[in-house]
Amino acid sequence: MVHTSKASSAKAQPVNRSNSNDWRLLLSLLPYAKQNSQKLIISLFLLVPLSIASAVQPILVQQAIDGPIKSGDLFGLRWICVVILLTIAVRLMFQAWQGYLVQEVGQKITADIRRDLFQHVTSLSTSFFDRTPVGKLITRLTSDVEALGDVFATGAVGVLSDLAAIATIAAFMFLLRWDLALLLVMMVLPVTALIVYFQYEYRKANFKARDRLSELNSILQENIIGANIVQLFRREKFNSTQHLKVNQQYANEVNRTVFHDSAVSATLEWIALVAIAGVLWLGGGQIVQNNLTFGELSAFVLFSQRLFDPIRQLAEKFTTIQSGFTAVERINVILQEPIEIRDPEHPKSLPLDGSGEICFDHVWFGYKPDEYVLKDVNFTLKAGEKIALVGPTGAGKSSIIRLISRLYEPTKGRILIDGIDIREITQAELRRYVGVILQDAFLFSGDIKENITLGEDYAIEQVIAAAELMNVDRFIQELPDAYATQVRERGTNLSGGQKQLLAFARAAIRDPRILILDEATASLDVSTEFLIQQALDRLLRDRTTIIIAHRLSTIRNVDRILVLKQGEVIESGNHDQLISKNGLYASLYQLEMMATH
Ligand SMILES: Nc1ncnc2c1ncn2[C@@H]1O[C@H](COP(=O)(O)OP(=O)(O)OP(=O)(O)O)[C@@H](O)[C@H]1O
């Protein structure tokens, strides 16, 4: 695929793009075309009979007028008519066949590009999703891919077929009368220059229009997901003004593309008429001087129409291809997005009897370069040890968890599990070894069982056993269809607490060596939390555990508490040690006690 720099990827400007860049864009699609080469070759071969059948018709008309019509030979005339009908039949048949083949290839290539994009996007790191609005991404994955598919479906082979038609018509014209042929060809040249100009302008407008469409989709997506908040805070008017503005900009850019597109069609319409007039002017004079027959003149009037037809179609296809170039450029920006977090070429394996020891070795980390949210974090969590991370909002607790799960990479330093740097093992192995339960469990559409197994091969008995272990089986049995209850997209038919209970079963069935709980019981009522807490005590036995909790009363019994402040571990010890130290933990604990009594 084409290499586009990151800077240009953010706001690629079509204005300064060179032709060589266009060619490189086109070449980047070759691997997709190659997989369908057989069908493409057949459709190219069909061009030969197609263009001959089209160019020979005016010659047959000329033969009819100058031969049988002039001499009154009705039998000969009928034969010529039969041959003309035959050429029409050949054209219709081959055109339909070629059209089908090309559309089929176009659909296949579109599906292949969509598949590659999906695989690539789902492999990108979390930081990519942090900076890319979902709406923009969806536009690229849907309508840009469609635009690209059109290039194959109607564009690429169609252009060759139009070029072949123009060349064959020109050859037949020159064979019949070189002077009239020259007149028509001379007219084509300036028109081509005009078309190239309009196409260039079209491309610029189209690029901007696609950008506006992405923006429009981002606004739409944000408003749909945040519909509750929009209504609760009466933001409808404000958001609608914002939407209206971008909507108008999009319409203006589309109008600009339509203008340039229509300008091309109008120019061609006008020039075709001028060409007929030119042929009549020059040819008429020659008939008077007996230098040209009526048949030849009629053939040239037909030729002048037929020559501009493929040129018109060519111009239309160029419009499709221009949109395709815009699309391939935008798609390439995503395909070029590096997969930052990759598996090593020769991965190591975590020991089968691994103890689950975690070591942060002088870890520094920032979401933006040089803005560290974790500064020289250095601690070792012994096998089976349970620690809690506490600290004010924004101190960096969740960031530590994201680093252990390798959703982000440390800027400096290393994270070791059982003595092995987590960059040296596969992500799949790491994530099997480390189970994470977050405060807000994301559910997929599907049933409850599928939301626990998440596509892995577990029997229903194992699912039930995991749910029983976590004391959530009773809650699932109360649902309308128990484990077969359908969950709506994002789990909207379940409460926050119910979703969290499923997250516990998800973790339990995987039996991870290390367990991380990020505010995992925050949405549960007191009695459910009590049940879960009992289950957790069973689950956590012998497992290395990291707990993030804002309510300090829930973590009194852990082995060690790390207190974070602005990305640094400022205190460490068990509850009693930290209380007697009288530092940040002690004051946070006292505040909580005062608030609850
Ligand atoms: N995706 C992100 N991109 C940029 N900055 C981020 C991102 N996520 C968090 N931050 C910043 O990193 C810092 C640490 O955030 P983190 O989520 O680790 O804090 P936390 O201690 O878990 O906070 P809380 O208790 O509120 O959950 C914060 O200043 C936050 O603004």
At 552-581, the pLDDT tens digits run 877 878 899 999 999 999 999 988 898 998
The answer, yes or no, to whether any atom of ligand 1 lies below 6 A from the CB of 397, is: yes
Between β-strands 560-565 and 568-573, what pairing exists: parallel, antiparallel or unpaired?
antiparallel
| Token output for 291 | 């230098």
What pLDDT does residue 171 have?
Answer: 86
- Side chain identity at residue 559, one-letter code: D
Chain-centroid distance of CA 569 in Å reads 40
Given this model, what pLDDT does residue 9 score?
A: 36
Measured CA to CA, the distance from residue 25 to residue 324 in angstroms comes to 10
| Domain at 21-335, CATH class | mainly alpha
Q: Which CATH superfamily is domain 358-596 in?
A: P-loop containing nucleotide triphosphate hydrolases (3.40.50.300)
Of the candidates 591, 127, 66, which has an alpha carbon nearest to the alpha carbon of residue 296? 66
Cα(286) to ligand 1 centroid in Å equals 85
Q: What is the pLDDT of residue 360?
A: 93
Q: Do 176 and 299 contact (CB within 8 A), yes or no?
A: yes
Question: If you take atom 30 of ligand 1, which residue's CA is the nearest one?
Answer: 394
Identity of the residue numbered 51: S
* Residue 68, SS3 per DSSP: helix
Phi, psi of 117 (to 5 degrees): -65, -45
Residue 229: is it exposed, middle or buried by C-beta count within 10 angstroms (0-12/13-18/19+)?
exposed
pLDDT attached to residue 377: 92
In degrees, to the nearest 5, what angle opens at C-alpha 126 toward C-alphas 124 and 130?
115
| Pick from 81-95, 155-169, 387-401, 502-516: least confident | 155-169
* Structure confidence at residue 27 as a pLDDT band (50, 70, 90): confident
Among 124, 364, 373, which is best to mutate for testing ligand 1, by the most ligand atoms less than 8 A from CB?
373
Q: How far is the CA of 82 from the centre of ligand 1 (A)?
A: 80
> For residue 583, what are the CA distances in angstroms to 26, 537, 540, 556, 558?
64, 29, 29, 16, 18
Q: Is the CB of 128 under 6 A from ligand 1?
A: no
- Output the residue whose Cα is nearest ligand 1's atom 17: 398
> Would the CB of 214 count as within 6 Å of ligand 1?
no
Regarding the beta carbon of 393 and ligand 1, being less than 6 Å apart is answered: yes
Q: Which long-range contacts (CB under 8 A, 24 or more apart) does 577-583 make?
A: none
Q: Whose CA is nearest to atom 10 of ligand 1?
A: 367
Query: How confident is the prediction for the chain on average, in pLDDT?
Result: 83
Q: Residues with Cβ < 8 Å from 417, sequence gap 6 or more?
A: 350, 354, 356, 357, 358, 359, 425, 430, 433, 434, 514
Query: Does position 5 have pLDDT exceeding 50, yes or no?
Result: no
Does 33 or 422 have the greater pLDDT score?
422
Q: What is the pLDDT of residue 7?
A: 33
CB 422, CB 430: distance < 8 Å: yes
User: Where in the chain are the domains?
Assistant: 21-335, 358-596
pTM: 0.71
List the end-to-end C-alpha distance of the chain, in Å, as a whole number.
64
The answer to ipTM > 0.85 is yes
User: At residue 304, does pLDDT exceed 60?
Assistant: yes
Segment 425-466, tens digit of pLDDT = 998 889 888 988 887 778 888 888 888 888 888 889 999 998
Arithmetic mean of pLDDT, 523-550 = 80
Q: Are 124 and 174 in contact (CB under 8 A)?
A: no
Contact 124, 294 (CB under 8 A): no
Nearest to 302 by CA among 266, 276, 274, 337: 276
Is residue 405 within 8 Å of 395, Cβ to Cβ?
A: no
What ranges in 435-517 are assigned the alpha helix state H? 448-453, 460-469, 473-477, 496-510
